[in-house]
């Protein structure tokens, strides 16, 4: 039997796979079903071959000792991760986005022609959020483009705040509260469901979290999809108007997407095509008659959203995914809240799986529905693989125990083609939403807290309090997340120490052993990822309490003390509920700091602001000075038709430049 190829031959084979798959990616488009199938057919076999090789040739003989136990622990989570990835390739063979949008178009046109719009109760769930967060959702909801007699805005307050009751009465929203917080968000929704049944009793209910502002066309786009009798829930994706902690702390807000775009823009439309899309807790509409049939929103798990979807599945109803930007919300603003949020999602998924009527134990589910839920479980069950991947080289340096037994030639022969196929398929199918380094870092940051939550959930899945993600905070100074930083710092030190010892240690041979060489490469990759994660832990200031939207609209201005026509030629560069930046043309002399000016631009009422800063080239910094009604009109106009201010696709070159800038300037000083 011929021996294994040498390293050069293995590298040539890996390069050949890279060139072939890269060329295929350039020739195909992920928008066509045939192209998705062809790409999957080409990229899946090397991954399956690698998995078989890992299982059959790289595990030591079993013994109750550290090395075989460590090798099998590592392989178990690696295999779970690979199986999850292969499942994702299979799921994304289908996609319903274009079909659902066409159905929404046709249904909206038919309803507009008939004028027979169904009544809707809009429920905004709130727990202790401050008014600057809540008012955006309430005022945007009051601005929905829908017949006023067919929609009612309800604010469901789970903290019994008198000031919020008074605010709702002032702006025209209805207010509901309750005596306790039983069953957390699901209990709050059920209280709203019961109260509204005795008043408006609208056949459709739109649910929004307190920090999510609906866009004007949201109801018109959603209600018509219930013309399909199989649809129980219509769900829209979550978009954000502020960068998440990873985008912000790495300085890549304009060059890289938030980490959920793959899930919302790719996986959910694919799951919808299989009949297995699921509710994600905000921006969804549900039929009241089906809630009546279920006895309300299910309360048995902290993830009442996915539990609702699977509860309806048992009765033959689907969740329809309408992949349009119909609401915008606040992303988690610091890394601790970011991880807490994901740990809660993990716990909720485990809880629903373990419930007697859940998709893994209950009756009434199809095999397809159970497999889709199992795939979602694998997402969380495979999370420990990333921490193990980062510490694997250090385990080798300290204990002399490799994660798997092989030489570097065989790894290049089997591992490199599999990695090439995985990365290229991910980049291709995601259409720029997955970028090397950044995608891995986003998952790595939350992997350890989620792994701890996973272990805790498996030991004690129920009886834990619902943790609300804090929103709306501002931060004027850099903050160092010590606990996270210590973990990633230890990974860097351990791997750097191992590399140094293997190269310069007094007992090391002149020529580096092949096994050490492979671990040096592995450790180097782990160090790069850990450095990126460490930068995320150094949280940059967020001094602005209000996020700004880039507009670049023509505007006219006039000094308050100078009557006469408004002057043309200025440009509104960006705007927030608190102020704006306006660029003046060269012919207009800038007003003095402290001056009051009036600004007029399309889509907004004239606004009065005070000049607080004059930058280079006549760039004015304004702070609005307005009464409460004017402020509310501005917020309603901004947040009900909000321009996109976060990247929708990734730009690897710009992201690397942003990351390099952060490395050179770690504390963000200029």
502 and 579: one domain? no
| Residues 403 and 376: beta-carbon distance below 8 Å | no
423 and 508: one domain? yes
pLDDT at position 467 is 61
206 and 307: one domain? yes
If pLDDT is split at 50, 70 and 90, which confidence band does 568 have?
confident
**Domain span including residue 236:** 106-331
**Count of Cβ atoms closer than 10 Å to residue 585 Cβ:** 12
Q: Is residue 327 part of a domain?
A: yes
**Count of Cβ atoms closer than 10 Å to residue 556 Cβ:** 15
77 and 136: one domain? no
Q: Is residue 192 part of a domain?
A: yes
Domain boundary among 490, 508, 539: 539
DSSP state of 224: G
131 and 71: one domain? no
83 and 126: one domain? no
Beta strands in 63-165 (DSSP E): 120-126, 151-157
pLDDT digits (tens, 9 = 90+) for 441-466: 889 999 989 999 899 888 888 876 65
517 and 556: one domain? no
| Residues 323 and 97: beta-carbon distance below 8 Å | yes
- The phi, psi pair for 600, rounded to 5°, reads -135, 125
119 and 67: one domain? no
CA distance 329 to 621: 26
Q: Is residue 227 part of a domain?
A: yes
pLDDT at position 8 is 85
Q: Is residue 562 part of a domain?
A: yes
237 and 327: one domain? yes
Residues in a beta bridge with 557: 567, 599
pLDDT digits (tens, 9 = 90+) for 285-300: 999 999 999 999 999 8
286 and 205: one domain? yes
**Structural domain count of the chain:** 3
Work out the angle at residue 163's Cα, subtended by the Cα atoms of residues 158 and 168, and round it to the nearest 5 degrees. Answer: 80
389 and 287: one domain? no
Environment class of 501 (CB within 10 Å of its CB; exposed 0-12, middle 13-18, buried 19+): middle
Q: Is residue 408 part of a domain?
A: yes
Does residue 94 register a pLDDT over 70? yes
Work out the angle at residue 512's Cα, subtended by the Cα atoms of residues 77 and 525, and round it to the nearest 5 degrees. Answer: 40
**Count of Cβ atoms closer than 10 Å to residue 217 Cβ:** 16
Which of 359-373, 532-546, 618-632 is predicted least confidently?
Answer: 532-546
| Residues 316 and 230: beta-carbon distance below 8 Å | yes
Please name the residue that has the structure tokens 């980049």. Answer: 427
Residue % of the chain over a pLDDT of 70: 94
If pLDDT is split at 50, 70 and 90, which confidence band does 362 have?
very high
The token duo for 428 is: 């291709």
> The domain spanning residue 576 has which CATH number?
2.40.10.220
pLDDT at position 6 is 79
Mean pLDDT of the chain, nearest integer: 91
pLDDT digits (tens, 9 = 90+) for 607-645: 999 999 998 878 999 999 999 999 999 999 999 998 888
pLDDT at position 668 is 56
Q: Is residue 369 part of a domain?
A: no
Does residue 670 register a pLDDT over 60? no
Residue 329: CA count within 13 A, CB half-sphere: 22
**Count of Cβ atoms closer than 10 Å to residue 188 Cβ:** 25
Domain boundary among 485, 509, 539: 539
Mean pLDDT of 168-183: 96
441 and 301: one domain? no
Q: Is residue 305 part of a domain?
A: yes
Which of 279-288, 475-484, 528-537 is predicted least confidently?
Answer: 475-484
pLDDT at position 565 is 64
pLDDT at position 271 is 98
In 223-359, which ranges are continuous DSSP H helix?
245-250, 261, 268-273, 288-294, 304-313, 335-354
Beta strands in 107-203 (DSSP E): 120-126, 151-157, 174-177
pLDDT at position 351 is 94
pLDDT digits (tens, 9 = 90+) for 219-242: 999 999 999 999 999 999 999 999
If pLDDT is split at 50, 70 and 90, which confidence band does 1 have?
very low
Does residue 16 register a pLDDT over 60? yes
pLDDT at position 3 is 43
If pLDDT is split at 50, 70 and 90, which confidence band does 430 have?
very high
> The domain spanning residue 304 has which CATH number?
3.90.550.10
In 400-437, which ranges are continuous DSSP H helix?
408-430
Q: Is residue 660 part of a domain?
A: no
Residue 472: CA count within 13 A, CB half-sphere: 16
Please name the residue that has the structure tokens 């009036």. Answer: 598
pLDDT at position 469 is 62
Domain boundary among 490, 518, 539: 539
Mean pLDDT of 104-124: 98
For helices 482-504 and 385-399, angle between their N-to-C axes, nearest 10 degrees: 40
């Amino acid at each position: 039997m011929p021996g294994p190829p040498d390293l050069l031959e293995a590298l040539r084979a890996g390069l050949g796979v890279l060139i072939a798959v890269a060329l295929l990616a350039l020739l195909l488009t992920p928008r066509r079903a045939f192209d998705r199938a062809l790409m999957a057919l080409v990229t899946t076999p090397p991954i399956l071959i690698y998995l078989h090789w890992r299982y059959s040739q790289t595990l030591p003989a079993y013994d109750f000792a550290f090395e075989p136990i460590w090798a099998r622990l590592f392989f178990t989570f690696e295999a779970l991760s690979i199986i999850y990835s292969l499942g994702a390739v299979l799921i994304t063979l289908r996609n319903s986005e274009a079909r659902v949008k066409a159905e929404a178009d046709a249904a909206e046109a038919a309803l507009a022609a008939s004028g027979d719009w169904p009544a809707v109760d809009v429920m905004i769930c709130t727990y202790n959020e401050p008014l600057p967060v809540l008012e955006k959702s309430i005022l945007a909801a009051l601005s929905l483009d829908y017949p006023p007699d067919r929609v009612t805005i309800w604010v469901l307050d789970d903290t019994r705040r008198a000031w919020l009751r008074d605010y709702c009465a002032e702006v025209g929203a209805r207010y509901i509260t309750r005596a306790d917080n039983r069953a957390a968000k699901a209990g709050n929704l059920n209280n709203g469901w019961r109260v509204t049944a005795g008043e408006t009793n609208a056949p459709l209910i739109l649910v929004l979290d307190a920090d999510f502002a609906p866009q004007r066309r949201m109801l018109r786009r959603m209600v018509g999809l219930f013309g399909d009798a199989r649809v129980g829930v219509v769900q829209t994706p979550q978009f954000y108007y502020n960068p998440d902690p990873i985008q912000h702390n790495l300085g890549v807000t304009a060059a890289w997407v938030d980490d959920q775009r793959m899930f919302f823009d790719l996986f959910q439309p694919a799951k919808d095509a299989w009949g297995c899309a699921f509710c994600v807790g905000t921006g969804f509409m549900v039929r009241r008659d089906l809630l009546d049939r279920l006895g309300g929103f299910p309360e048995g798990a902290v993830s009442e959203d996915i539990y609702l979807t699977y509860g309806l599945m048992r009765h033959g109803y689907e969740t329809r995914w309408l992949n349009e930007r119909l609401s915008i919300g606040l992303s988690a603003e610091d890394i601790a809240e970011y991880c807490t949020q994901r740990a809660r999602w993990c716990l909720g998924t485990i809880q629903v799986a373990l419930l007697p009527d859940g998709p893994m134990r209950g009756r009434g589910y199809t095999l397809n529905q159970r497999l889709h839920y199992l795939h979602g479980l694998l997402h969380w069950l495979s999370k420990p693989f990333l921490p193990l991947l980062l510490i694997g080289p250090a385990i080798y340096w300290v204990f002399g125990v490799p994660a798997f037994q092989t030489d570097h030639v065989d790894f290049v022969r089997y591992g490199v083609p599999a990695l090439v196929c995985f990365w290229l398929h991910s980049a291709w199918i995601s259409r720029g939403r997955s970028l090397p380094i950044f995608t891995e870092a986003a998952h790595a940051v939350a992997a350890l807290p989620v792994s701890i939550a996973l272990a805790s959930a498996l030991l004690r899945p129920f009886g834990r309090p619902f943790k609300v993600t804090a929103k709306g905070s501002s931060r004027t100074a850099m903050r160092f997340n010590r606990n996270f930083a210590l973990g990633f710092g230890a990974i860097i030190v351990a791997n750097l120490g191992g590399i140094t010892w293997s190269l310069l240690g007094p007992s090391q041979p002149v020529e580096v052993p092949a096994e050490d060489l492979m671990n040096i490469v592995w450790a180097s990759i782990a160090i790069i990822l850990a450095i990126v994660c460490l930068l995320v832990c150094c949280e940059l200031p967020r001094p602005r309490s209000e996020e700004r939207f880039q507009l670049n609209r023509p505007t006219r201005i006039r000094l308050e003390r100078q009557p006469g026509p408004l002057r043309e030629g200025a440009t509104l560069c960006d705007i927030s509920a608190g102020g704006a930046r306006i660029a003046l043309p060269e012919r207009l002399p800038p007003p003095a700091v402290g001056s009051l000016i009036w600004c007029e631009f399309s889509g907004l009422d004239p606004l009065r602001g005070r000049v607080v800063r004059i930058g280079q080239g006549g760039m004015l910094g304004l702070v609005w000075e307005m009464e409460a009604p004017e402020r509310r009109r501005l917020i309603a106009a901004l947040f009900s038709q909000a321009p996109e201010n976060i990247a929708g696709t990734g730009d690897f070159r710009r992201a690397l430049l942003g990351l390099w800038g952060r490395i050179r300037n770690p504390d963000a000083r200029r």
